[in-house]
Amino acid sequence: MALFESYERRIDKINGVLAQYGISSVEECREICKAKGFDPYEIVKGIQPICFENACWAYTVGAAIAIKSGVKTAAEAAKMIGVGLQSFCIDGSVAEDRKVGLGHGNLGGPFHRQNLNIIGSRLHAIHVQDNHGMSDEHLLPFHGNINWQEAMEGLADIDYDGDLTYEIQEFGRYFPNDQKHLVVEYSLKVGKVLVDMFEKAKAGKGK
């Protein structure tokens, strides 16, 4: 049985990245992390029990790369974990083109503006949703604990010119069908607040 989904399409690229850090296999990555007293595979499973196996192994690979790189700060660790995650992205896929979800990023810890600067011009699209950092809640912005002011300022820092796409399927799920229009109207108003924040942040750059 394959270790994770689409194994044959992913493994050569993953192994090529691992070789750059002196790691021989995906399985060794888990051992490297366990030797440091933590298991990213189990951490990911604990956060999202129904996640795909490639999510568990991607974070394990990223964490091992961070350890091998000798990182000292959270920002440095995030960058190297990102190398691991990216190694799992199939060439030509949406993920390979750096489609990033801020909400998913918040599950790994508080939002950090400098992380957007690390990604920079490679960022082309953003799924906009909020949460409280504990589960993938898919809330509207300002309904969780993401600092959206800081997020919009971070996007302005890198001259972001892509889309902000709602990923809020849980919001309004149980509204009666004849009242769904209220969800749409409210979502549009929240979106306008977010866009206004972004435009003000762009206008204020360098002042």
Cβ neighbours of 31 (radius 10 Å):
13
Query: Whole-prediction pTM value?
Result: 0.55
Per-residue pLDDT tens digits of the chain, which is 207 residues long: 789 988 999 999 999 999 999 999 999 999 999 999 999 999 988 888 888 898 899 999 999 999 999 998 876 787 788 788 888 888 766 555 544 445 555 655 555 576 677 677 777 788 888 887 766 788 899 998 888 998 899 899 889 998 888 877 778 888 899 999 999 999 999 999 999 999 999 998 766
Q: Token pair of 72, please?
A: 């000292």
